[in-house]
Structure 1
Amino acid sequence: MADTHKQSLTAIWVSLISNIVLTAMKLAAGLVFASPVLLADGVHNAGDIIATVAALTSSMVSKRPADEDHPYGHGKAEVVASALVAVILALAAFWIGLQSIRALFEPAEGESVLALGAAFISLIWKQALYVYTIRIGRAAKSKSVLATAYDHLADVYASLAAVVGIGLAVLGDHFDWAWAAYGDPLAGIIVSLLVMKLAFQMGRESVDILMEKNAAAEKIEAYQNIILAVGHIKRIDRIRAREHGHYITVDVRVGVPGDFTIQEGHDISREIRNRIMEADPDVIEVLVHLNPWYEGE
């Protein structure tokens, strides 16, 4: 657990430093070469810095142990950060789309080969960051690292649009293609829709967890099978499971023979808890309530 947390923090720190460097590079290139698409991408990257700082902070907070004020731990801090990243992505998508539509009605501007090079470097860099962070996020089951990875994916889309748009503009200047200068805003509109879709998916998942939606049906079914395999379990009256960021808590009510002693009931509860936690390392707590069962029910 400590190793995965360390890897998660390292991934977020790498992302933060990369976003700062890429933001400076894009804004400088955009100003020097008068490239609207690079300036827009640079402003988008500036928003990524805020998102990455939120992910870094939430990742550190989420690993704090449970206390008197937060008896279920601090895991949902990562979910809050994920929701914040979704909002930032949605705003960025709206802004990119708005700027792209506006550019369609303005005189097209020429682009520089050096600006194309800056956009291409950003594309490769962001793709590498996405692959790196998505692997770490899935291994650590960290919502904040996964949010950072999806943020990088949105940047891959934006950088790809910049490469296509600037590339078409450069070719248009060389071959005298007047229409090619509008490849940038058209690509930007497509990217804004892709980023908005990504933001919606992230936001919906975060809201589901914050509203304590039940865990996936496959997990619930797996827990049921584990419980029914425990001796003396006559029925499952209720089973619920909820995510708290990178871990899960399970709440079950089962029927056992009404003439069992307290010790026998305690042993059954402990066995249910141990079996579920052994089968699913994501589960950190299983609350078991025993109901009496009598022959003929």
Structure 2
Amino acid sequence: MFKGNNSNASIIAVWISLISNVILTGLKISVGFIVKSPVLLADGFHNAGDVIASCAALISMRISKRPADEDHPYGHGKAEVISSAIIAIILGMAAIYIAYEAISAFFEEPAKGSYLALLIAFISLVWKQVLYVYTIRIGKLTNSKGLIATAYDHLADVYASIAAVLGIGLSLIGDIFSIHILSYGDPFAGIIVSVFVFKLAYEIGKEALDILMEKTVVQERLNDFANLINLVPEVKRIDRLRAREHGHYILVDIRASIPGDMTIQEGHDISRKIKKIILENHHDVDEVLIHLNPWYEEES
């Protein structure tokens, strides 16, 4: 399991995300009201949802780092997956909201462009891109589902900010050159962005649901586990091999056959060998549960 500095890095990344989202929410909503920019206001309210998502990620990551106890013998790793599901729901709602606002804009008088709104949208675009690169790197390093979901939330914000920059920019160009149709560039961009955001929500939600439903890890990973088990010479056959993600770590279940004339102590030593070789080669594996079956020569 990931511990120490990696764990601290993920917590710091979420705190940075939370503080950034609070600042951006305040900036966008306040400037949006001042310059009467619907797209900036919509983006600001979207960021308000990100504040909730960041809080959920922070709380879940703290819970997931708790050690196993009597009530939770397999640890608390799935807490992060729950936060991923929450983020997926928030992103899905944001996508619907962005699409609704974009479609509604076609039936209203287009808003005037604002250089201040354009500046704030551009700052948000750059800021969120930096946050995405930073959090996705830390998230993958620590295998933190909550942080990876937060990173994709930042990516969704990048898409939304691109739409805001394009929409406000086109409005300004339309105002300057009296091209009325350009004033509707924002809703067009908004609809496209809503599709991207909804796609992200679906992917994050599907992964979270797969883990909560204890879907097995990919076959390549199982094959790797099997190859390692077969390196233990006493193992005659792998009867069953299963593995599942439990948040930021993996649990492995093994049933293997060893010579039936071996003692309990020898079987215990073989179990330790199997566990040791898997843990040494897969640092994201937290627990290896092994059941040994007797094997006899006539079975070969």
Structure 2 length as normaliser, TM-score? 0.98
Unmatched 5+ stretches in structure 2: none
Q: Does 1:282 align with 2:284?
A: yes
List aligned pairs for 1:44-59, cutoff 5 A. Answer: 44-59=46-61
Q: Does 1:35 align with 2:37?
A: yes
Tell me, what secondary structure is at the counterpart of 2:84? Answer: helix
CA offsets 1:218-256 (integer angstroms, 9 cap, x no match): 110000000111112111110001111111110000111
Residue of structure 2 equivalent to 1:216: 218
Instruction: Tell me how far apart the structure 1 counterparts of residues 200 and 150 of structure 2 sit (CA, whole Å).
Output: 12
CA offsets 1:58-99 (integer angstroms, 9 cap, x no match): 010100000000000001000000000000000000010011
Instruction: Tell me how far apart the structure 2 counterparts of residues 265 and 123 of structure 1 sit (CA, whole Å).
Output: 59
Structure 1 ranges of 4+ moved more than 2 A: none
What code does the residue aligned with 1:106 have?
Answer: E
**Shift of the alpha carbon at 1:296?**
2.2
Instruction: Tell me how far apart the structure 1 counterparts of residues 62 and 219 of structure 2 sit (CA, whole Å).
Output: 30
Q: Does 1:65 align with 2:67?
A: yes
Instruction: Tell me how far apart the structure 1 counterparts of residues 276 and 225 of structure 2 sit (CA, whole Å).
Output: 12
What code does the residue aligned with 2:38 have?
Answer: P
Residue of structure 2 equivalent to 1:225: 227
What code does the residue aligned with 1:229 have?
Answer: L
Residue of structure 1 equivalent to 2:166: 164
**Shift of the alpha carbon at 1:204?**
0.3
Residue of structure 2 equivalent to 1:179: 181
List aligned pairs for 1:33-182, cutoff 5 A. Answer: 33-182=35-184
2:266 equivalent among 260, 264, 267:
264
What code does the residue aligned with 2:145 have?
Answer: K
What code does the residue aligned with 2:178 have?
Answer: D
Instruction: Tell me how far apart the structure 1 counterparts of residues 236 and 137 of structure 2 sit (CA, whole Å).
Output: 42
What code does the residue aligned with 2:246 have?
Answer: H
Instruction: Tell me how far apart the structure 1 counterparts of residues 239 and 150 of structure 2 sit (CA, whole Å).
Output: 40
Instruction: Tell me how far apart the structure 2 counterparts of residues 10 and 292 of structure 1 sit (CA, whole Å).
Output: 49
Tell me, what secondary structure is at the counterpart of 1:251? Answer: strand
- Judge which range, 105-114 or 195-204, deviates more: 105-114
Over aligned residue pairs, what C-alpha RMSD do you find?
A: 0.7
Residue of structure 2 equivalent to 1:8: 10
CA offsets 1:9-36 (integer angstroms, 9 cap, x no match): 1110011010000000000111011100
What code does the residue aligned with 1:33 have?
Answer: V
**Shift of the alpha carbon at 1:264?**
1.2
**Shift of the alpha carbon at 1:175?**
0.9
1:234 equivalent among 233, 236, 244:
236
* Identity over aligned pairs, percent: 60
What code does the residue aligned with 2:208 have?
Answer: S
- Judge which range, 98-107 or 32-41, deviates more: 98-107
Structure 1 length as normaliser, TM-score? 0.99
Instruction: Tell me how far apart the structure 2 counterparts of residues 293 and 75 of structure 1 sit (CA, whole Å).
Output: 36
Tell me, what secondary structure is at the counterpart of 2:253? Answer: strand
Instruction: Tell me how far apart the structure 2 counterparts of residues 233 and 99 of structure 1 sit (CA, whole Å).
Output: 62
Aligned residues: 297
Tell me, what secondary structure is at the counterpart of 2:297? Answer: coil
Unmatched 5+ stretches in structure 1: none
- Judge which range, 267-276 or 106-115, deviates more: 106-115
